[in-house]
Amino acid sequence: MIRVCHIVNLITGQADGVYAHLKMIFRNYDRNKFEHYLLFQGGEKIENEAKEFGVKTFVSSSLIKKVSIKTFVDIYSLMKVNKIDIIHVHLIKPYAIAGLVNIFLRKKFIFNYHGIFLRDNPYYNFIERNIYAAIHYLIFLFGKVDSVLVPSIRSKELLIEETNLFPEPIVYYNGYTSNQSELESNDYIIRRIQEIKRDRMIIVLIGRLEIDKRIDRAINIMNNLVAQEKNIQLFIFGDGSLKSEMQNLVNELQLNEVIEFLGYVKELQICYKFFDILLFTSDWEGMPLTMWEAMANSVPIVAPDVGGFKEILEENYCGLVYKQGNLIEAEAKLLQLLDDTESRNKLGQNGRLAVENKYTEKNFIVQIEKAYSELINK
């Protein structure tokens, strides 16, 4: 039995890409070959869901703090007591802390890159980024990173460009398997969407309302499209620290009638059939689950050239890509689809076929477990 411990901080279980990635592993892993453990900052929702998947959870509330000796002690104790074979870390802080601890433990060690490392990381200031860079170098000198997993070819290129202290990254694709029969409907949300759908085309943006998602760009694009008398509605799904700020921007631009914030919705997949276009305006991404969900539900995508969008959307001809931050180009791509029903339908159909034939959860877990097995057998 191979024991794998995932270490992560600040996962919420709501529109959370890293936790969506973990859930796919927990839902699909081979229980005859692997045991999975989760060490994180705590949260009843995540603890309950992990338990349902047969994953043992451990809480270290000190993961929330900037610096805590207790986190080092928690990680060291958990690895020793439970005889962990592979430490699988996600995000920068868990990588730094667990990497230092592993100088003494000498366990097999995997770093999972989720779209951003240290360079231009908006969640850390200049001093913090330099501290983490120094720790990264110490781990390289005295510890070891046995394997690095990245969610796209572009992610691999960006990580190699940023640092040469990691082994060559292994690319995987998350993929998606729709289980519509298991979904619970949200009657209010569906009624609201159906009401708008009678008269307008629906553009949707789904994600955490945080700085990296650049929701302000979507709002400004809508302002321009409405000025051109396009009969459209933007629904924004998700919560986050910038929600009030984004709502104030909508108020200032007098867009309340065409932009609506619907919060975090757990079972949103059942609503995709009402959407015309899924829009992304992010500064960075790994490979968001919402992209795969849209593809599986025949919804075309307009996204910036960040993360793995380009290699998936263009290879499978299921969406349009614009230069990061170029709102004029993003607007033109949206107009192209809004005005061409045939193209929207074709892109949507291509996305659905790609998910059904190539990008499934089964293929994803095969890639992840292959990486585990090869690491143990080295």
Give residue-wise pLDDT tens across range 152-189.
999 999 999 999 999 999 999 998 877 654 445 678 88
The pLDDT tens digits of the residues spanning 311-359 come to 999 999 999 999 999 999 999 999 999 999 999 999 999 999 999 999 9
Question: What's the pLDDT tens digit per position in 215-237?
Answer: 999 999 999 999 998 899 999 99
pLDDT given for residue 182 in this prediction: 47
Task: Residue 44: count other Cβ atoms within 10 Å of its Cβ.
Answer: 8
Do 275 and 194 form a contact (C-beta atoms < 8 A)?
A: no
Are 213 and 281 in contact by the 8 Å Cβ rule? The answer is: yes
What would the mean pLDDT of 10-16 be, rounded to a whole number? 80
- The 10s digit of each residue's pLDDT in 194-217 is 999 999 999 999 999 999 999 999
d(CA 187, CA 216): 29
Is the Cβ–Cβ distance between 18 and 38 less than 8 Å? no
Q: Match 């995997």 to its residue by tokens.
A: 110
Do 86 and 191 fall within a single domain? no
Backbone angles phi, psi at 279, to 5 degrees: -110, 135
Q: What is the pLDDT of residue 185?
A: 61
pLDDT at 110 over 60: yes
For residues 331 and 274, state if they share a domain.
yes
Residues contacting residue 182 through CB under 8 Å, at least 6 positions apart: none
- Give the pLDDT score at 13: 82
- Which pLDDT value is given to residue 50? 94
* Residue range 143-155: mean pLDDT, rounded: 95
- For residue 378, the SS3 value is coil
What is the band of 57 on the pLDDT scale with cuts at 50, 70, 90? very high
Same-domain status, 372 and 287: no
Check: CB of residue 317 under 8 Å from CB of residue 350.
Answer: yes
Do 286 and 210 fall into the same domain? yes
pLDDT over 90 (residue 66): no
| Cα–Cα nearest to 37, from 73, 91, 75, 67 | 75
Distance spanning both ends of the chain, measured CA to CA: 16
So what's the pLDDT on residue 279?
98
Q: Are residues 155 and 91 in the same domain?
A: yes
Tell me, yes or no, whether 211 and 347 share the same domain. Answer: yes
Burial class (CB in 10 A: 0-12, 13-18, 19+), 122: exposed
The pair phi, psi for residue 139, each rounded to 5°, is -60, -40
pLDDT at residue 286, rounded to an integer: 87
Between 114-118, 119-123, 353-357, the lowest mean confidence (pLDDT) is in 119-123
Q: Could you tell me if 126 and 57 lie in one domain?
A: yes
Could you tell me how far CA 290 lies from the centroid of its own chain? 8
Residues 220 and 347 in one domain: yes
- 84-98 mean pLDDT: 96
Domain that holds residue 342: 180-357
Number of domains in the chain: 2
Same domain, 58 and 109: yes
11 plus 118 within the same structural domain: yes
pLDDT digits (tens, 9 = 90+) for 30-54: 999 999 999 999 999 999 999 999 9
DSSP 125: -
Percent of all residues in the chain with a pLDDT value above 70, rounded to a whole number: 97
| 166/148 Cα distance (integer angstroms) | 7
Q: With 0-12 CB in 10 A as exposed, 13-18 as middle and 19+ as buried, what is 377? A: exposed
Instruction: Please tell me the pTM assigned to this model.
Output: 0.91
Q: Which DSSP string corresponds to 269-323?
A: GGGGGG-SEEE---S--S--HHHHHHHHTT--EEEES-TTHHHHHTTTT-EEEE-
Rounded CA-CA distance 91/87 in Å is: 13
Q: What pLDDT shows up at residue 180?
A: 52
Q: In what order do the strands lie in the sheet with 232-237?
A: 259-263, 232-237, 201-206, 277-279, 301-304, 319-322
CATH number at residue 316: 3.40.50.2000
Q: Is the pLDDT of residue 77 over 50?
A: yes
Supply the pLDDT for residue 103.
96
How much is the pLDDT for 378? 78
170 and 76, same domain (yes or no): yes
- In this structure, the chain runs to a length of 378
Q: Are residues 51 and 11 in the same domain?
A: yes
Tens-digit pLDDT profile for residues 237-294: 999 999 999 999 999 999 999 999 999 887 788 899 999 999 999 999 989 999 999 9
Rounded to whole angstroms, how far apart are CA atoms 24 and 216?
A: 30
